[in-house]
Structure 1
Amino acid sequence: MLQPFRHALKDQTPLYVFVAVLFLMGVVFGALMVNALTLEQQQDLSRYLGDFFVSVNQGGTEFNQLDFWAVAALHLKWLGLIWILGLSVIGLPGILILDFLKGVLIGFTVGCLVGQFTWSGLLFALVSIAPHNLIIIPALLIGSVAAIGFSLGIIRSRVLMNRSGSVARPFLSYSGLTLAMVLVILAASSFETWVTPVMMSWVTPMLEQVLNPV
């Protein structure tokens, strides 16, 4: 039962390092993209964020009615796509692109908040983005490493070494690890659905003061 986890953590350390560095590069790139926005785009973004914070602070309907399965589906689709790309073997570049894009999205979001609201924006990012992503991001990276490892194993055994052995065991290990990450993502999604909105409501009054100083 624990063999897939031991294999992933022990034998694939270089892949973990590579994928983690790729993700962090995406975060940095996303944060730098904020500086490339025009003044008009920054103003539009500021207005959008301002309306969102007012809605959160006033308990807007779109804020209070977060659906667990909608939140979970968003993350599970990402993991599912990684799993499918791993099965396709030729989808290896796609896995790396997805990890990089995930970093870009997070880096851009945090960069926008910090750029518009400085320390208050950073605090909002810490309560609204960081908590569940501290669980989801490692789960996606573990899924990515498992997908890359599975694809490389198929390439080595079938293409480079011309072996025709069964792929059932590697497939079961790969799918079992991915299924475990599904459970982790479901747990993180429950936190994002029911706990994160409460934490956000604690911080948004501070952001409203930044937007509308007395």
Structure 2
Amino acid sequence: MKVTFFKNLIASHLQNNLWLYVLSAICLCTGIVLGVYTVKYMSGFEKSDLLNYLSSFMKNYNSQTINYNQLFLETAKNNIPILLIVWFLGLTMIGIPIILVLDVIKGFTMGFTVTFFVNGMGFKGIWMALLSVIPQNIIYIPCIIIGSVVAMEFSLMLIKSNGKKHWTTGISSRIMSYSIVFIIIAACMFVGLSFETYITPNIIKAIA
């Protein structure tokens, strides 16, 4: 019974917010394309400088002992705040454009990183991208998109309800439900964080 209820709830959510999912995905893809073209049109000096830095980083990284606890905290600091910002923006009536910009930035980061690895390191870069960048982003990106859509949906609800009589009725329970969804999304992101912490460093070392 509960499984059927949740299936219907998810189906209804997807049906009602399909256009928001499409919009979020378009912004993400736009960011990826911008990242690809940024690498393509970088000057030779800039590419060389970044490659030297990356080469130096990998050599030093390969000789260091990995502190997994510290690495996990750093990885969480790089990803969880984005989710918190999206959650907060959803509580405002002007957060939708900023949420979409964050989607573009996330896409840009992935597009730039993957393209730079492949363009700058050749065959080794392809392995770096496939094994150390893409796997965790398979988890991060759906989480960011779902979080973005849920936040935009909540923001639109606030905009539509504003000005109506007793529009604040039940708002606390709505915020609670909204926040619980983000807690679930954050829990899913921890799968990606764990992969990036405990598996990705060893892949980088192996490739290096």
Provide the TM-score with structure 1 as the length reference: 0.85
Equivalences for residues 111-122 of structure 1 within 5 A:
111-122=115-126
1:22 aligns with 2:27: yes
Distance 1:8 1:72, change over 3 A: farther
For residues 20-48 of structure 1, the C-alpha deviation after alignment (integer angstroms, 9 at most, x for no partner) is 12101100111100122222111101101
RMSD (Å) for aligned C-alpha atoms: 1.9
| In structure 1, C-alpha distance between the alignment counterparts of 2:190 and 2:12, rounded to whole Å | 24
Q: Report what 1:168 is aligned to.
A: 172
| In structure 2, C-alpha distance between the alignment counterparts of 1:10 and 1:119, rounded to whole Å | 42
Aligned 8 A contact 1:30 1:103 in 2 = yes
Partner SS for 1:129: helix
Partner SS for 1:89: coil
Q: 2:130 aligns with which of 119, 126, 133?
A: 126
The number of aligned residues is 199
Q: 2:85 aligns with which of 75, 81, 88?
A: 81
Q: Report what 2:57 is aligned to.
A: 52
| In structure 2, C-alpha distance between the alignment counterparts of 1:6 and 1:170, rounded to whole Å | 19
TM-fit CA distance, 1:112: 0.9
Q: Report what 1:33 is aligned to.
A: 38
Q: Report what 1:207 is aligned to.
A: none
Equivalences for residues 1-214 of structure 1 within 5 A:
2=6, 5-56=10-61, 58-61=62-65, 64-66=66-68, 67=70, 68-159=72-163, 162-165=164-167, 166=169, 167-204=171-208
TM-fit CA distance, 1:5: 4.3
Aligned 8 A contact 1:24 1:103 in 2 = yes
Which runs of at least 4 in structure 1 moved beyond 6 Å after TM superposition? none
| In structure 2, C-alpha distance between the alignment counterparts of 1:122 and 1:86, rounded to whole Å | 37
Residue type at the aligned position of 1:80: L
Distance 1:92 1:153, change over 3 A: same
Structure 2 runs not aligned, ≥5 long: none
For residues 141-187 of structure 1, the C-alpha deviation after alignment (integer angstroms, 9 at most, x for no partner) is 1110000000011111214xx24332234323321111101111122
Residue type at the aligned position of 2:101: I
| In structure 1, C-alpha distance between the alignment counterparts of 2:186 and 2:142, rounded to whole Å | 12
Distance 1:21 1:9, change over 3 A: same
